[in-house]
Structure 1
Amino acid sequence: MSEPTLGISGGIAKKFLITEITPLLALVGLLLGLFAVMVTPREEDPQINVTFANVFIPFPGASAEQVESLVSTPAEQVLSEIEGLEHIYSTSMPGMSVLTVQYKVGQDRTDALVRLYNKVASNQDWLPQNLGVGTPLIKPKGIDDVPIVALTLWTEDDKRGAYELNQVAHAIESELKRVPGSRDIYTIGGPQQIVHVLLDAEKLAGHGISLADLRNALHASNSARDAVSLVNNNEEIQVQAGTFLMDAAEVGELMVGVFDGKPVFLNDVAEVKRTSDSPEAYVTFGTGSAASHKELQAGIHTPAVTIAVAKQPGTNAVDIANSVIDRFEKLRGTFVPEGVNVTVTRNYGETAQAKSEKLIHKLIIETIAVALLIWFALGWREALIVGAAVVITLAVTLFASWAYGFTLNRVSLFALIFSIGILVDDAIVVVENIHRHMQQGGKKLLDVIPVAVDEVGGPTILATFTVIAALLPMAFVSGLMGPYMSPIPINASMGMLISLAVAYVVTPWMTGKMLANVDFSLHHHDNNKLHGFFSRIMSPFLDDKKGSKRRTTLFAVITLLIVLSASLAVFKLVVLKMLPFDNKSEFQVILDMPEGTSLEQTSRVLNEMSEYLGKVNEVTDYQIYAGTAAPINFNGLVRQYYLREGSNIGDIQVNLTDAHGRERQSHEIALDVRPPLQDIAKKYNANVKVVEVPPGPPVMSPIVAEVYGLDYPGQIAVAKQVRGIFEQTQDIVDIDDSVEYPQKRLVVQVDRRKAALLGVSQDAIASAIDTVLRGEDVVFLHGKGIKYAVPIRVEFPVALKDKMDSVLALRVRSQAGELVPMSELVSVQETTREHSIYHKDLLPVVYVTGDMAGTTDSPLYGMFEIFSGIKELSVYDNPINQFFVAQPDDPYLYGMKWDGEWQVTYETFRDMGIAYGVGMILIFLLIVAQFRSYMVPLVIMSPIPLTIIGVMPGHALLGMQFTATSMIGMIALAGIIVRNSILLVDFINEQVRSGMDLKDAVINSSAVRAKPIALTALAAMVGAFFIIDDPIFGGLAVSLIFGILVSTVLTLVLIPLMYYMYARNRLATIMGGAI
């Protein structure tokens, strides 16, 4: 008897079945995986290459409208020409324009910034030279600017305060910078060292000294030059001319003038002292009820400073964080004196390590679970074969993932966990088919293996590529969500290709070794049982008389179930949401006091809030940042919290016990603390938001309404109406807008004519007022051991700064040399500060923001409720047009665009829908190429809608939201279900070609293929079971478990029946009549 002709898959299996290189290839695969685990950088979330840059353009003295028209608008038009921009924003405020350019995700950071610098530099002549606009300052920001470690220094020693802690922190910074891979290291909080020159207006007038005299004296006395060398007696001697001011005593002894023939020293007209600067921010460390989890006592509340440490791109967050903390521990007792305590208030390396270890543990357990499943179904030898195939596939996939540039993060590891269920399919199908062939008896194992592999080779290759065709298009999802989720389709697709190679190279070789001495006749009766089972189920539908009617009834019932399942989302029995909240160990409290609030009052309100937070059972510690921002996270980067500074703003960073050590999730805690914090804020007319770490790409706010229109005052009026609708809508919280609270403002108006007659310039008056109120750093000390420059600052004492009469009593020198009180030359008018003017993509905009905290907990539902309320509003008898995708196209009408989580949801599901459609087309083309028919692919793909019957009720049953990860599960299901259909249809064709009756072939296909299909389905379900408890990827697991369960059961019946109808009608057409 001649050997059967083998195809590609059978030929590959036969080749590697007898070669000695096969085990070496398996060993190389394992070593590559071990290498990848050791060298791949670890982090908690994927690195998203998103680049921001802020461009600061000062315009001193200009109003917000002048800044907008003369600076912001022209600058926006120029910068909008830069290639690769996603958005351009601007904020025009009195005296300053702040522009923000946001590049599209994936733009190379270096190239993007070079384009920005080139554009700014090449347009330096865009404004007249003497207009008064300052030089633009560019500050780039990116994901690597987010600190991975925060060390908070605090002390309960009354003799030490924020200033002393700041000095300790500065000394530590240089030491930590020596850690390889560290990047930006900076300290938040604590005043700097300064030499105060506190002026006395009466003494200045009494000694005939002006501010200009002080400046000149300081400049003249703090100058030095490196002169040329001289030669004396054949020796070259270096000459330095002049010396710098070295300490405060030297500064006080400077002669600043002569009065009545006597020298006037700086000490005569001002108080000179070297001390800490007036605080512009307060940082406080406190402990909560769960402080013991960090080995701290509850009730601590003390001044502090925080050292933030970022890492370089592409480095391992775990290694850097551990090295920084180890380095710091070595500094105790030397750089860190006794009595100064340190608490690690952020360690993203630790969370990344914990997450990766947990997921790798799940990978191992899942692999064992799949092996046990095969053991139960086929035997322990088969289980070892399949388990080895999974391990080798995962190892090589990890190496491929590292080579592609992915890091070990929760998304890439979840991708592998999710993939195990489908990576194991090829090995299961091959092993089960070899097993089935050997049960038939009379054949040698080494002869059976190539034939058995070849029999399933074609459909397995096709099925593998259909799964890839379903998954891979998701890699092209745009926006922040694309690169965030890209490890799932890319890793899974690479894994599928690798698993196919392993199934045809390693699995046959291991099967030949492991099953050489197995008696297969013991299990032959299993197929007979399955045949009888499917015959009883399917025969009524294959009956010539009543079968057609029964099939119609079955399909009608299935269609009804699909419609009912889809309607669960319509009736909110399944809530739609972008991503559910993760269970984090931190959240932030963001406070905005009314503009004009003092730093001390802001600090008092934050302290009151922290007193409440400290009583929450799960709070270990908190850090208060008054007047400045806390160390940013990715959410803060996108929301630009790093720009938050001023006496009226503050943050509280709240740290919780580990997620495994508490019953409540962080989202529940955040919901619980919000009302009490808002009650405190209302007492002070403040706005407070509880901001959680988003589970995916962050946005400005979950619900954002952008108001556009013809004039900015009108936009503000419309925004206030929109805000009213926000406040009336149930469950909408954290409501705010971009319109500042009116702040009192004093305008000093100079009588130009009188000033000119007395020989005093307006610039001299403005400069004098600015100096005494803001303070002027005239020169700097040059003493030993100074790390940060110590300015010599000329200003009024704090007690006199709030008295305008005292300020205007200061005298300026006229051209005639006389000292003239400023009060004689000016008048003071009381007004209010202008509102800042915001632009987005070249259009003026006012923002209204909010969040959803109700039972649905999805901002989309809140947004649509607000949408209905806004439809009732009108401006000048015209409705407010609302837009969901693009900005209003008519700038002369008031309109509104929805942004926030809606925009990300729309773009993500739009792109996923397109990816789903592209996947279906690719699957169709692949099946057409294999079966050379246009109808067969439709039959094979018909079970795809069946997944809805499992997916939606599964989410409703478990009370889970349908999220982006749920959608990923549905897309993956399409490939998995089509894979099963291909195996069934291919086997029916094979049986019919061998002479079997069509009805018998249909029943036999389900009976024979039920086992491998059930095994692959159970393997995928087992894999999904291990991620069902994850807050983010639980939706993916639910989709897979319930979708596979329902669709697999139905597919084993429906696909053979539908193919029977197609083949029967086709045969009837060929024969010219019914059969």
Structure 2
Amino acid sequence: MSSRDEISISGRIAGQFQNSAITPLLGLVGLLLGMFAVFVTPQEEEPQISVTFANIFIAYPGASAIEVEQVVSTPAEQVLAEVEGIKHVYSTSRPGMSIITVQFEVGENRNSAILRLYNAIFSNEDFLPRNLGVMRPLVKPKGIDDVPIVTFTLWSDDPHWGSHELAQVAHSLEAELKRVPNTRDVYTVGAPDRVVHVVLDPQKMAAQQLSIEDLSRTLQAFNSVAHAGSVVAGNRQLHVQAGEFLQTADEVANLIVSMRNGQPVYLHEVAQVGLEADQPESYVWYGTGPGAKTLGDAEARDAPALTLAVAKKPGANAAEIARSVIERMEQLKGYIIPDNVHYKVTRDYGATAAAKANKLIGKLAFATFFVVLLVLLTMGWREALIVGMAVILTLALTLFANWAWGFTLNRVSLFALIFSIGILVDDAIVVVENIHRHMHGSQKRLLEIIPLAVHEIGGPTILATFTVISALLPMTFVTGLMGPYMSPIPINASIGMMLSLCVAFVVTPWLAYIGLRRRFERQQKAALSSHGHMEVAGGAVHGAPPTQSDATAHGVDDVAPGLLRFFERIYLPFLNSRRVVLNRFLLAVVVFALIGLSLMLVTHRQVILKMLPFDNKSEFQIVVDMPQQSSLQQTARAMGALTDYLSQVPEVVNYQAYAGISSPPGFNGLVRQYYLRRGSHVGDIQVNIVDKHLRDRKSHQLALDLRGPLQALVKPMGANIKIVEVPPGPPVQSPLVVEVYGPELAGQQQLARQIEALFNMTPDIVDVDTSVEHDTERLILQVDRERAVHLGVSQAALTQLLGAVLQGQDLSYVHTGTDKHATPIRVEFAPGDKADMESVLALKVTSLRGGLVPLADFVTVKKSGIDHAIHHKDLARVVYVTGDMAGKLDSPLYGMAAIYEKLAELNSPSGKPLQQFLIRQPTMPFDYAIKWDGEWQITFETFRDMGIAYSVGLLMIYLLVVAQFRSYVVPLVIMAPIPLTVIGVMPGHALLGAQFTATSMIGMIALAGIIVRNSILLVDFVSETMAGGVSLAKAVILSGAIRSKPILLTGLAAMLGAFFILDDPIFSGLAIVLIFGILISTMLTLWIIPILYFSLLDWQARKG
């Protein structure tokens, strides 16, 4: 075997590319690919998560909630539970309606999932008799792309303009905005319909012997059109249309509805007919706060408003679409948007995405600059330039890989790159530092030195790279919403590490040769002229190729004396001292004590455990629930009190209030299904606050400060409000959720009320609510069937009359040819005719004999309660209790722990101890039990999966090190620093008052790979040095003295990268782990690992 064959593959690769013409071309291609990725990768604020679910609406008119549950919901759930890929099936059974929600596993392909769902539903339509009265299912698929990225709120300060006039403008804008490429849903929230009102006069109807059936027949007869065919006349074919549609309210008013005594009876003679706005089922208004002045916005105070929402297509660039939509809106000002109508962009996720991306790219550049500056201060400007160019090329290639993998430019993928800076630069630093060290005093050619230098650290560098990847990569298998949310971190970092290794072995040697050659030649000439001859170490300059022994021996004695003395002082007491056993024992005691004290910070709640900390957003939402019998006006009055208060809060820019309907959903509202909230007793307020750079209070602190005063304002009105912040990560139903299961609904509701009371009594638990509805009354009009038959009145005639009286009845539509939405002809009665039940019972219905019969003759009124909604989860009846945490311990885990202890003392309605389940649904439905859900569930799943990923990563690291060192014990020494990271991580969190979160756990996992890298460099150096004939003790001391520089450099580089994410509320935990973990563990690694390795080899030598 030739000596050249003794050089490792890393050295041979460096030798091939260090002076190759193709190397700069490869680097140029890499840079161009990175630039391409920056321009084409879509920008979004949050990662795209494939969350597919669907709402299925099945109407069963007239049925009670229990009948809907038994006849519709339960059989439908059984069918849907068979569909592949479904995670949960929820249902809500109300009188006359079943709403079933199907949630698929995260990551399921939307199209195939919905196809399977449709197939299951419509292939089982025959599970109910056709004449039972159950309507056909309506399926509404939902996903993350249903969330609007831009909303415009239209309002006017013109007193003659209300929601009806604004709706006409909004509907015209919908079509124009839809023309913007890659827009998806464009719709208006809060727009009232236009209706041709036909307000009947009961007395005149009775005088003319007319019934609603007569009007219905007349409208349908005179509002039908048919294409009757064609005729040929004058050698031309003419198409024939039979009839014309009703087009105006006047045409409707002039319809002849009957003939009396040979005279026509027109509709306007028995009713008032007019085209007007529909009776309001919702109110929307807009107002501004003191913060609007900082933006120069026009002032508004509870102005009637509408909201125009725009969503984007999957995979499209949110920033680009939002910008285009806003530009189009500005162009339409003065054309479709009148001068007296104003609009405000009340949501712009495109701008926030672009701002976040630009800010993080700037941080990425600064992190790279400071890492290069670090190299500049320690090795020189040429070495710094080489490292900088290698890092930039690695980042460019990683950005291209990010795009090729299908990721977008979002906060997580960019934070992954910033976090990776510190470890991506490691390979370049180690290679350049070793080349720099080998050049010192050498008389070999640089083309010989570079392969030798790369060879020397090639093996441990490859191994170290794969240990970091082994630690990170298992995180890609984390399940649930958190898995795909955080997946850019392990994937981008792992790909970046591989690319960094390739760049270090291919491009960095070429850069080193080009950048360092001239200086090295000058140094050689200076040395030659100084000594008068050229000393050759290991052979002549042009002699035999370098060997492995040359590489090992070179530089061993080239150590600063002061550094050598320092490591002698810290190592020798544990190597050859007379008290060596005692010293090692005391060292072990101190280390284990520090680990124990660090962990006690968690048990004593000096470090709080939480899924993710609150972000500092510029918006929050107030969800309002009034008693169920509240009118729309009462709900609006309570919300008006809230908006009046908000208009005085300094940070508030504007608010949009929605009474009777929900606001355009965010991702949180989509998952919690706020879009299903409709009714006179519900509402919500969307509040926008000034940018975080323009206020002192964080959004979470503002929400805490507002909760008390706002609740005090509306509590006397019976309102229950929740302040909902934008979640920092994947949303859940509520931070605290208790699911109550049992054999009887009444017992479940009783138990839920008890748990609700415990929630209210527990400190820091707020926004408590249950799914148990308040008792509400309804009136049942009982028909005396025998009397009705005797009078000749059908129940169908009664039903039609009451429908028209109480809510109106759409009998047909006018065809204006200009309106985007159909305009119904609604037959109804005046408010005075339905003011109370006496007025209703005084109304007359036409009998089969032609006479008019008052309702009071055969109808009596009975009071009854409205059935409560019945909820199911995965085929089991359930009642929910929800809450949130606010205070010093704002982690739901601690509220849950406090309630858990109290519930352990609680007996169920059956008298037995209450069972509590943490991770699975109770399997036996014959006794009462609860299951904890909400943030606890996602926290458990995330930390369980991360713990498994951590374990798998450690196992893979162990196997890699075993393969490299061919020992089962040496890897344990190399991995010893991993538990030492706790000594830095936990005190670091406590010192900064930060919570230990999921991102902290990601940092711990990454840290395992990073810190093992240092151990590998030390142990490998000791082994290689001893192979060159150096004694064990000297090799240990030299390992610290020589390898301390690259170890400290790479550690400082990682810490510098982490400093740039320290200010982010979500990823600060990751930064703290890296900064404090690397700081402490690097120092302890340089101290303890050589001592441990010495002890192992010394013990093996004495034992052998």
TM-score, length-normalised on structure 2?
Answer: 0.96
Aligned to 1:1030: 1064
Deviations 1:133-191 (A, max 9, x none): 11100011100000000000111001111111111010111000000010100001131
Aligned to 1:613: 646
The aligned runs of 1:604-1003 (5 Å cut-off) are 604-875=637-908, 876-1003=910-1037
**1:96 alignment partner AA:** M
CA distance in 2, matches of 1:816, 1:963: 77
**1:910 alignment partner AA:** R
The aligned runs of 1:287-366 (5 Å cut-off) are 287-298=288-299, 300-366=301-367
Query: Given the alignment of the two structures, is residue 1044 of structure 1 paired with residue 1044 of structure 2, yes or no?
Result: no
Deviation at 1:253, TM superposition (A): 0.9
Deviation at 1:488, TM superposition (A): 0.2
Give percent identity, aligned residues only.
Answer: 59
Question: Do the aligned residues in 2 keep the contact of 1:210 with 1:811 (CA within 8 Å)?
Answer: no
Question: Do the aligned residues in 1 keep the contact of 2:90 with 2:873 (CA within 8 Å)?
Answer: yes
CA distance in 1, matches of 2:794, 2:832: 28
CA distance in 2, matches of 1:493, 1:799: 73
**2:85 alignment partner AA:** G
Which of 567, 573, 581 is equivalent to 1:540? 573
Deviation at 1:262, TM superposition (A): 2.8
CA distance in 1, matches of 2:262, 2:680: 46
CA distance in 2, matches of 1:839, 1:863: 23
CA distance in 2, matches of 1:800, 1:841: 47
Question: Do the aligned residues in 1 keep the contact of 2:147 with 2:666 (CA within 8 Å)?
Answer: yes
The aligned runs of 1:109-258 (5 Å cut-off) are 109-258=110-259
**2:710 alignment partner AA:** L
The aligned runs of 1:418-429 (5 Å cut-off) are 418-429=419-430
Deviation at 1:684, TM superposition (A): 0.8
Question: Do the aligned residues in 1 keep the contact of 2:291 with 2:653 (CA within 8 Å)?
Answer: yes
Deviation at 1:257, TM superposition (A): 1.5
Deviates further, 869-878 or 657-666: 869-878
Question: Do the aligned residues in 1 keep the contact of 2:638 with 2:719 (CA within 8 Å)?
Answer: no
Q: Does the residue aligned with 1:944 lie in a helix, a strand or coil?
A: helix
CA distance in 1, matches of 2:128, 2:369: 70
CA distance in 2, matches of 1:417, 1:677: 40
Aligned to 2:632: 599
**2:1102 alignment partner AA:** A
Deviation at 1:544, TM superposition (A): 5.1
Deviations 1:425-448 (A, max 9, x none): 000110111111112423222111
Question: Do the aligned residues in 1 keep the contact of 2:559 with 2:1041 (CA within 8 Å)?
Answer: no
CA distance in 1, matches of 2:1000, 2:135: 51
Question: Do the aligned residues in 1 keep the contact of 2:209 with 2:850 (CA within 8 Å)?
Answer: no
**2:953 alignment partner AA:** G
Deviations 1:62-97 (A, max 9, x none): 100000000000000110111001111000000100
CA distance in 1, matches of 2:253, 2:5: 104
Q: Does the residue aligned with 2:734 lie in a helix, a strand or coil?
A: coil
CA distance in 2, matches of 1:70, 1:592: 30
**2:860 alignment partner AA:** S
Q: Does the residue aligned with 1:518 lie in a helix, a strand or coil?
A: helix
Question: Do the aligned residues in 2 keep the contact of 1:56 with 1:96 (CA within 8 Å)?
Answer: yes
Residue 802 to residue 911, structure 1, CA distance change in 2 (3 Å): farther
CA distance in 2, matches of 1:844, 1:801: 39
Deviations 1:350-407 (A, max 9, x none): 0001000000000001100000000011111110001101100000000000000000
Question: Do the aligned residues in 2 keep the contact of 1:299 with 1:614 (CA within 8 Å)?
Answer: no
CA distance in 2, matches of 1:58, 1:958: 55
Deviates further, 855-864 or 368-377: 855-864
Q: Does the residue aligned with 2:606 lie in a helix, a strand or coil?
A: coil
Question: Do the aligned residues in 2 keep the contact of 1:43 with 1:352 (CA within 8 Å)?
Answer: yes
Aligned to 1:512: 513
**1:804 alignment partner AA:** M
Deviates further, 564-573 or 825-834: 825-834
CA distance in 1, matches of 2:236, 2:51: 60
Question: Do the aligned residues in 2 keep the contact of 1:592 with 1:649 (CA within 8 Å)?
Answer: yes
CA distance in 2, matches of 1:838, 1:3: 75
Aligned to 2:459: 458
Question: Do the aligned residues in 2 keep the contact of 1:470 with 1:920 (CA within 8 Å)?
Answer: yes
Q: Does the residue aligned with 1:736 lie in a helix, a strand or coil?
A: strand
Deviation at 1:815, TM superposition (A): 2.8
Deviations 1:728-768 (A, max 9, x none): 10111000000112222111111122222333222331232
Q: Does the residue aligned with 1:130 lie in a helix, a strand or coil?
A: helix
Deviates further, 179-188 or 768-777: 768-777
CA distance in 2, matches of 1:440, 1:81: 75
Query: Given the alignment of the two structures, is residue 490 of structure 1 paired with residue 491 of structure 2, yes or no?
Result: yes
Deviations 1:103-154 (A, max 9, x none): 0000000001001111111011000111111110001110000000000011
Deviations 1:638-684 (A, max 9, x none): 00001011111011000000111111110010001000111122111
**1:552 alignment partner AA:** F
TM-score, length-normalised on structure 1?
Answer: 0.98
Q: Does the residue aligned with 2:650 lie in a helix, a strand or coil?
A: coil
Deviation at 1:2, TM superposition (A): 5.7
Question: Do the aligned residues in 2 keep the contact of 1:289 with 1:298 (CA within 8 Å)?
Answer: no
Question: Do the aligned residues in 1 keep the contact of 2:157 with 2:300 (CA within 8 Å)?
Answer: no
Deviations 1:427-475 (A, max 9, x none): 0110111111112423222111001101111110010000000001001
Question: Do the aligned residues in 2 keep the contact of 1:593 with 1:602 (CA within 8 Å)?
Answer: yes
CA distance in 2, matches of 1:968, 1:906: 15
Aligned to 1:587: 620
CA distance in 1, matches of 2:835, 2:805: 11
Question: Do the aligned residues in 1 keep the contact of 2:200 with 2:830 (CA within 8 Å)?
Answer: yes
Question: Do the aligned residues in 2 keep the contact of 1:201 with 1:809 (CA within 8 Å)?
Answer: no
CA distance in 2, matches of 1:949, 1:831: 66
Question: Do the aligned residues in 1 keep the contact of 2:286 with 2:300 (CA within 8 Å)?
Answer: no
Deviation at 1:3, TM superposition (A): 5.0
CA distance in 2, matches of 1:686, 1:3: 83
Deviation at 1:710, TM superposition (A): 0.5
CA distance in 2, matches of 1:360, 1:84: 37
Deviation at 1:409, TM superposition (A): 0.2
**2:350 alignment partner AA:** G
Deviates further, 224-233 or 632-641: 224-233
**1:959 alignment partner AA:** G
**1:106 alignment partner AA:** G
CA distance in 1, matches of 2:57, 2:295: 41
CA distance in 1, matches of 2:1066, 2:85: 31
Question: Do the aligned residues in 2 keep the contact of 1:190 with 1:279 (CA within 8 Å)?
Answer: no
Q: Does the residue aligned with 2:6 lie in a helix, a strand or coil?
A: coil
The aligned runs of 1:562-573 (5 Å cut-off) are 562-573=595-606
CA distance in 2, matches of 1:180, 1:612: 40
Deviations 1:837-860 (A, max 9, x none): 000111000000000001111111
**1:631 alignment partner AA:** P
Aligned to 1:397: 398
CA distance in 2, matches of 1:138, 1:768: 32
Query: Given the alignment of the two structures, is residue 1059 of structure 1 paired with residue 1089 of structure 2, yes or no?
Result: no
CA distance in 2, matches of 1:758, 1:77: 47
Question: Do the aligned residues in 2 keep the contact of 1:771 with 1:795 (CA within 8 Å)?
Answer: yes
Q: Does the residue aligned with 2:518 lie in a helix, a strand or coil?
A: coil
- Which runs of 5 or more structure 2 residues have no equivalent in the other structure? 528-554
Q: Does the residue aligned with 2:103 lie in a helix, a strand or coil?
A: strand
**2:610 alignment partner AA:** K
Aligned to 2:48: 47
